[in-house]
A = this chain, B = another copy of it.
Amino acid sequence: MSTPITAKMVNDLRTQTGAGLLDCKNALIESNGNIEEAITILRKKGAASAAKKATRATLQGLIESYIHVGGKVGVLIEVNCETDFVARNEEFRVFVRDLCLQIAAASPLYVSRDQVPEAQLNTEREIATAQVQGKPPAAVQKIVEGKIEKYYSTVCLVDQPFVKLQEKTVKEVLTEKIAKIGENIQIRRFVRFQLGS
């Protein structure tokens, strides 16, 4: 059974490749609905250019950076919101800058706990279990869970204590900003470079 080709799929492919309507539809039929394959088919026919056209940004928000004095640590972040109006809002901008400082200072590895790789989590659990010995199993489990929570609050940006206001987590400050600004705000991604590491 072949995948039905929807108008949306054809449209997405057109946006990505700049190829004609009919070419896109035929390529999708040939690739059985697989977009990546359809792009390859269009490129083979010369109907799409080598570099994917930049897809129209449907999200609003801000990309911000921070370079620590001396240029040994740098941060790049993308924070999304719903409208360009909020992206230009001063409070939103200050919050994004604060997140950059947070990442420079506290070196998180992930935005949130769902991004921690399963294998990494298993290693942490194993280490935590080995560190607890001679206690009843129920107590061990509780201590291990506590250590895992501690691990999250070390490596996940939103679980870290907010550097500017240690009694709150980044997530709590984020929730407050969402309530105050009245728009969903999402920390989409970040990178942190440290010289030579």
Residues of A participating in the B interface, judged by any CB pair closer than 8 Å? 40, 43-44, 46, 50-51, 54-55, 57-67, 71-78, 80, 87, 107, 123-124, 126-127, 130-131, 150-151, 154-155, 189, 191, 193-197
Contacts and interface: CB of A to CB of B under 8 A. Distances in A.
A194 B71 contact: no
A4 B29 CA distance: 59
A51 B193 contact: no
A107 B53 CA distance: 11
Contacts of A123: 40
Identical copies of this chain, number: 2
Contacts of A66: 65
Contact of A195 (B57, B67, B126): B57
Nearest to A52: B197
Given A65-B67, A76-B65, A154 B194 contact: no
Given A57-B72, A80-B196, 10 more contacts: A40-B126, A54-B197, A57-B195, A60-B196, A61-B195, A63-B73, A63-B74, A74-B76, A78-B193, A191-B191
A50 B78 CA distance: 28
Given A75-B76, A127-B40, A67 B63 contact: yes
Contacts of A40: 123, 126-127
Contact of A191 (B64, B71, B76): B76
A100 to B, nearest CB: 10
A189 B194 CA distance: 11
